[in-house]
Amino acid sequence: MGRVIVVTSGKGGVGKTTSTANLGTALALLDKTVAVVDADVGLRNLDIVMGLESRIVYTSMDVIEKQCELSKALVRDRRVDGLMLLAASQKNNKDDIQPEQMKAICDKLRTTHDFVLVDSPAGIERGFSNASAGADEAIVITTPDVSAIRDADRIIGLLQNARIEPINLVINRFSPQLVGNGSMMDQDDVLDILNIELIGVVPEDSGVINSTNRGIPLVYEDGSPGAQAYMRIARRLTGQRIPIHNFEQKGLLNNIVNWFTRKK
Amino acid sequence: MNLSIRQLFGRKPKSSSIAKQRLKLVITQDRFDVDDRVMTRLHHELAEVLAKYFEFSANSVKMDLKQEGNSYILVADFPYTKFHETNMRQ
Ligand SMILES: Nc1ncnc2c1ncn2[C@@H]1O[C@H](COP(=O)(O)OP(=O)(O)OP(=O)(O)O)[C@@H](O)[C@H]1O
Ligand SMILES: [Mg+2]
C-alpha cells in the first residue's frame, strides 16, 4: 500500500506546487511509482509546472462525476517511468468536491502507487480539508519569513487535530547570504518556533523559474542547488538517512568562533 | 552565541532575531486563541450533557486547562444544586 502525503502550507505562494512537482519527479527517478494529484480545484497549476498541460483530457472532477475511469484520467509523464498526474478541474471550484470523494481517489491511487503526493491549495478552508482528507502524512512548506511561519503553525495545528502524521517541514527559498548577514532566520530559528521534524531545506534558486518556464522540473537536470535539495528530500522520504545540508555561509568571525566552540 | 558576540561589539540586534522573538510571542497567542475556542465549545457541550442529570447555574461553572510537565489536566467544577429526580430512578 502506498503512502498518501499532502503537500500544504498556510500562506500561499511559498512553493507547494514547485515542491510537489519536484518531489514527485525525484521519487520516480528513485524508481518509485508516484501519482501526483492537483487538489487546487479552480486554480490548477501542477500540470503546467510539470509541463504536462497539453496532455490533460480528464480531471479528478470527471472521475468523481463518473465520466471516466480513474486510470484513464491519469496522465503518464513520458520522461520517467512510474510518474502519473491527476489534474484538477479548472472550471469548478473547491466546494464542488467533498472530502470523502478526494479520500476515495487517494485510497484507490495508493493501491497502485508507492507514493501519492497531493498538491494542496493555500489556506485553512475547504480546499485544505479536501486535499488532506485522504492523507496519512503531510509535508508543510514554509519560507523563512514571519507571515509564512505564523500561517504554517496554524496549518500544523489543523493537521495534528486531523491525526495526520508524521508532519514534516520543508523550508523553501532559503538564502544563505541573508542568513549570513542576519536578515533571515536560519533553520534552527524556524524549528525552534514550529517544533516539528525538518525534512529538508531548499535554497532560493533561479533555476526554479527557468524550469517552470519550460515545464521541466528542476530535478531532471541534476546539479543545481535546488535540484539537489529536492533529491535529498525524496531520499529521506524513502527512508534513507541523509543529514540536513548546511547552506549557511558564515563570516570569518563566525567561522573562528565556531571553530573554537565546536563540539568534538 | 552568534547574537551575544554581536552584542559584545555593540551592534544593533539583527532583524532575524527580532523576527524570531515576535513570532514566538504571536504564535503562543495564536495557539491560546484556538485552545480558547475549543474550551468554550467543550464547556457548552459538557453543560448540555450534565444538565440532563443535575441542576446548576451556568455562571457557577469553572473550567480550566492546567499544564503539568508534558501533559494537560482538564479541571471542571460544576457545583450542582440538585439531581433531577427522573434520572435517579432509572
Ligand atoms: N526555491 C525557490 N527558488 C526560487 N523561486 C522559487 C522557489 N520555490 C518557489 N519559487 C517561486 O515561487 C513562486 C510560487 O511557487 P509555487 O507556485 O510553487 O507556490 P504555491 O505554494 O504552490 O502557490 P499557491 O499557494 O498559489 O498554490 C513561483 O513563481 C516559483 O517559481
Ligand atoms: Mg500551488
What is the pLDDT at residue B42? 84
Q: What residues make up the domain containing B67?
A: 2-89
Coil, helix or strand for A150?
A: helix
Q: How far is CA B59 from CA B46, B55, B77, in A?
A: 14, 12, 11
Point out the residue among B1, B16, B22 whose CB comes nearest to the CB of A261. B1
Looking at residue A224, its pLDDT comes to: 94
Rg of chain A on CA atoms, in Å = 18
Which of B7, B20, B21, B42 is most worth mutating to test chain A (most A CB atoms within 10 A of its CB)?
A: B20
Taking the C-alpha atoms of residue B19 and residue A25, their distance in angstroms, rounded to an integer, is 35
Q: Residue A159 and residue A227: Cα distance in Å, rounded?
A: 28
Q: How far apart are CA A70 and CA B13, in angstroms?
A: 56
Determine the pLDDT at residue B88. 57
**Which residue's entry shows cell 558564515?**
A250
Per-residue pLDDT for B30 more than 90? no
Interface test with A, best of B4, B7, B11, B27 (most A CBs within 10 A): B27
Angstroms from B20 CA to nearest CA on chain A: 7
Domain ranges across chain A = 3-261
Which pLDDT does position B87 carry in this prediction?
60
Our CA-based measurement puts residue B10 at a distance from the nearest CA of chain A, in whole angstroms, of 15
Ligand nearest to the CA of A13: 1
Other C-beta atoms lying within 10 Å of the C-beta of residue A126? 17
Assign residue A223 a region: left if phi > 0, alpha if psi is -120 to 50, beta otherwise?
left
pLDDT the model gives residue A264: 42
pLDDT at B83: 79
- Specify the residue with its C-alpha closest to ligand 1, atom 29: A209
Domain A3-261 coded CATH 3.40.50.300: yes
Q: What pLDDT was estimated at residue B35? A: 75
Cβ A137 vs Cβ A165: under 8 Å: yes
**Residues constituting chain B:** 90
Q: What is the pLDDT of residue A187?
A: 94
What lines the ligand 1 site, CB under 6 Å? A 9, 12-18, 40, 45, 121-122, 172-173, 202, 204-205, 208-209, 212, 226
Q: Give me the pLDDT at residue A188, please.
A: 95
Distance CA A111, CA A114 (A): 8
Per-residue pLDDT of chain A (264 residues; tens, 9 = 90+): 999 999 999 999 999 999 999 999 999 999 999 999 999 999 999 999 999 999 999 999 999 999 999 999 999 999 999 999 999 999 998 889 999 999 999 999 999 999 999 999 998 988 999 999 999 999 999 999 999 999 999 999 999 999 999 999 999 999 999 999 999 999 999 999 999 999 999 999 999 999 999 999 999 986 899 999 999 999 999 999 999 988 865 556 666 655 665 544
- For residues A156 and B45, the model is more confident at A156
Which residue is it, cell 485510497? A107
pLDDT: is B86 or B54 the higher one? B54
CB distance B20–A261 less than 8 Å?
no
Cβ neighbours of A157 in B, within 8 Å: 31, 34
Number of domains in chain B: 1
- Which residues are registered as beta bridge partners of A97? none
